[in-house]
Amino acid sequence: MIEYKDKDYEVIVIGGGHAGIEAALAAARLGKETAMFVMNLDSVANMPCNPSIGGTSKGHLVREIDALGGQMGISADTCFIQSKMLNVSKGPAVHSLRAQIDRKKYNMYMKNVLENQEHLDVIQSEVIEIIADNKQITGVKTKTGAIFGTKTVVVATGTYLKGKVIIGEVSYESGPDGVFPANELSNSLINLGIELRRFKTGTPARINIKTLDLSKMEVQKGDSEVTPFSFSNEDNEELQKVEQIDCYLTYTNEDTHKEIMDNIDRSPLFNGSIESVGPRYCPSIEDKVMRFRDKERHQIFIEPMGKDTGEMYIQGMSSSLPEEIQKKLYKTVEGMEDCRFMRSAYAIEYDAIDSTNLTLGLKYKDYTGLYFAGQINGSSGYEEAAAQGLIAGINAARSLENLPEFTLDRSEAYIGVLIDDLVTKGTNEPYRMMTSRAEYRLMLRQDNADLRLTEKGYDIGLISEERFSKYLAKKESIKNELERIKTVKVKADDKTNDILRANGSQEITRGTNLNELLKRTELSYEILAPLDEERPELSKAVKEQVDIQIKYEGYIKLQQEQINRFKKLEEKKIPEDLEYNKISGLSLEARQKLTKQQPINVGQASRISGVSPADISVLLIAITQFLKSNKKG
């Protein structure tokens, strides 16, 4: 192969999935000359795993990406075919938006966004080598011999890196959806001293809708009032006019489970053919049946892949069983007796790195200019990938101006929880975001992501002046209304008590203010509108914030106190030249883990697996002594 010198870029992104897209757009929008290399241009923003964006906790991530100036939320709003807010029967902390997406439209829309982005070139070519000189990134080489110079690289290879598809006894090298895998880049990473591991994910079969009996299934409709992912679409009435497509619910049964049990020896997951680790919280159907043998049935959702296709995604039936067993298995499910496959289910193995070697800004610690984002860091899911891509892209761009890393901590965003978990705790299986992972989830609601993060996005340079002005106006409206509500007097008359009784609320015998009534769980800002004749015209989003902030005021105050205590440990920085091996009293495991991961503060150190509270006490004393000693010197 003849090598030749091609164009120089300031930032190069390897991969055109959800992580790569956010990284490339962020860097380009921050004014850096950026190139995004993809295996196949037709697979940009592909959704090989499932045709949806958002879901429990994942919806939080999408809204945070949007609040910081990322792209995923806007694109999802443009391409959705069904929208639903999950967990609405529970408190606002766990409300999560989920949308079914027109897969092909999303692909073409994102491709168009990328193509029209200033400072960004999108190139179909396989990167086979990352070039470095004395631990500084200097460029990349493609399979055709082109050398592209750069100071920063973001690796966002998804499941392509040495991808291997497995269907029963059949396995072959492939990326998702039959696209070529990236087989050579792994060796380059190994040559750079980067340790790789093997993870696995999977996907169910796709079925032609004309072979399903939907009348035997339960219809799953979208919300009558659409909630957008992007805060910029809060007043977009066009979203309410989108014709939504139904999903359907059915269940496995005794026959389904028997078919699996009878053929479990042919499952690569159980016969030793697959040694890599799969996602615990998104198991294959055979894994679910074997793990939960007492369950008589499992939910199966039938989801459309788009408006212009009859291809249906069978969520809940991911499998790596042989193809002929899959076809028997699916036919046991009610409504799927005559189903015909368009694509078979498969498992896919791929290379990933040890994420504990990254900083909280997703830079690889041993190299200048090398960043990683998405599934290569051990995460699963489009939303987790996009969140990491945004942070990596921001920091790749900032590094070129010698600006400090942009990071979010656990008290600021789900993105902060996600990255802190990956970097500080590490993962031995594909990591999935869940609301239970966020200890401050009452503060990190999906509804207030803009109030938490838009100013940060503006300071970085990803939020426009126009959007920031609208945000400030919204913030001011919330503040003014919260203050006004406290002054609104409510009489203990028939009108008031009729409304209270009608809503299952206790009557009042003396006057009060509207603020006190709003604290009652069964009442809301809208319900009490007849008692508030001077109420100004406000947007739905402002009303929602007023309602939540008043109703949960006490809980929010308690959580803020917890965050303040958390911040004290996060603000306690660890000197870079502190030698853990010289600290007597630290356990051997703590010394090894702290030396390897080099936490930047005591809070991060306390979350490293193997570092005990006793070790943290010793560390705090050591830091104090170290600082005193250096001050004297």
Residues 91, 218 within the same domain: no
Structural domain contains residue 279: yes
Q: Are 277 and 428 in contact (CB under 8 A)?
A: yes
Which helix (H) or strand (E) segment holds residue 570: the answer is helix 553-571
| pLDDT of res. 287 | 87
* pLDDT tens-digit map of 267-311: 887 777 776 666 666 788 988 998 888 899 999 999 999 999 999
Structural domains of the chain, count: 4
Structural domain contains residue 323: yes
Residues 32, 157 within the same domain: yes
Beta strands in 333-469 (DSSP E): 341-343, 346-353, 370-372
Question: d(Cα 613, Cα 617) in Å, to the nearest integer?
Answer: 6
Residues 39, 177 within the same domain: yes
314, 331, 349 - which closes a domain: 349
Please, what sign has the CA dihedral across residues 176, 179, 180, 186? negative
CATH of the domain at 505: 1.10.10.1800
Nearest residue to 200 (alpha-carbon basis) of 276, 266, 268: 276
CATH of the domain at 578: 1.10.150.570
Decide if pLDDT at 100 tops 70: yes
Decide if pLDDT at 21 tops 60: yes
Tell me the three-class secondary structure of 203-225, residue by residue: ECCEEEHHHCCHHHCEEECCCCC
What's the whole-model pTM score? 0.95
Neighbours of 400 (CB within 10 A): 18
| Alpha helices in 223-334, H assignment, sequence order | 254-262, 268-271, 285-291, 323-331
Residues 356, 372 within the same domain: yes
Structural domain contains residue 525: yes
Tell me the three-class secondary structure of 3-16, residue by residue: CEEEEECCEEEECC
| pLDDT of res. 278 | 63
Structural domain contains residue 378: yes
Structural domain contains residue 561: no
Residues 161, 283 within the same domain: no
460, 481, 507 - which closes a domain: 460
Residues 307, 226 within the same domain: yes
**Average pLDDT of the chain, as a whole number:** 94
* pLDDT tens-digit map of 332-347: 999 999 999 999 999 9
Decide if pLDDT at 626 tops 90: no
| Alpha helices in 346-447, H assignment, sequence order | 382-399, 414-420
Q: What share of the chain is helix, strand, coil (3-state, %, to 5)?
A: 40, 20, 40
Residues 145, 92 within the same domain: yes
The whole domain housing 605 covers 572-632
What residues form DSSP beta bridges with 146?
4
Q: What is the DSSP letter of 238?
A: G
Residues 329, 423 within the same domain: no
| pLDDT of res. 348 | 93
Residues 501, 611 within the same domain: no
Neighbours of 451 (CB within 10 A): 17
- Token pair 């910029």 is found at 232
| Alpha helices in 236-284, H assignment, sequence order | 254-262, 268-271
Residue 477, Cα to own-chain centre: how many angstroms? 30
Percent of the chain beyond pLDDT 70? 98
CATH of the domain at 441: 3.50.50.60
| pLDDT of res. 281 | 60
Residues 86, 191 within the same domain: yes
Of 212-226, 440-454, 583-597, the least confident:
583-597
Structural domain contains residue 261: yes
Residues 241, 344 within the same domain: yes
* pLDDT tens-digit map of 237-256: 999 999 999 999 999 999 99
* pLDDT tens-digit map of 559-604: 999 999 999 989 999 998 999 998 988 999 999 999 999 999 999 9
Question: d(Cα 381, Cα 279) in Å, to the nearest integer?
Answer: 10
295, 321, 349 - which closes a domain: 349
Q: Are 366 and 135 in contact (CB under 8 A)?
A: yes
Residue type, 504: G
Number of C-alpha atoms within 13 angstroms, CB side, residue 280?
Answer: 8
Residues 475, 542 within the same domain: yes
Structural domain contains residue 559: no
CATH of the domain at 222: 2.40.30.260
Structural domain contains residue 567: no
For residue 338, the SS3 value is coil
For residue 262, the SS3 value is helix
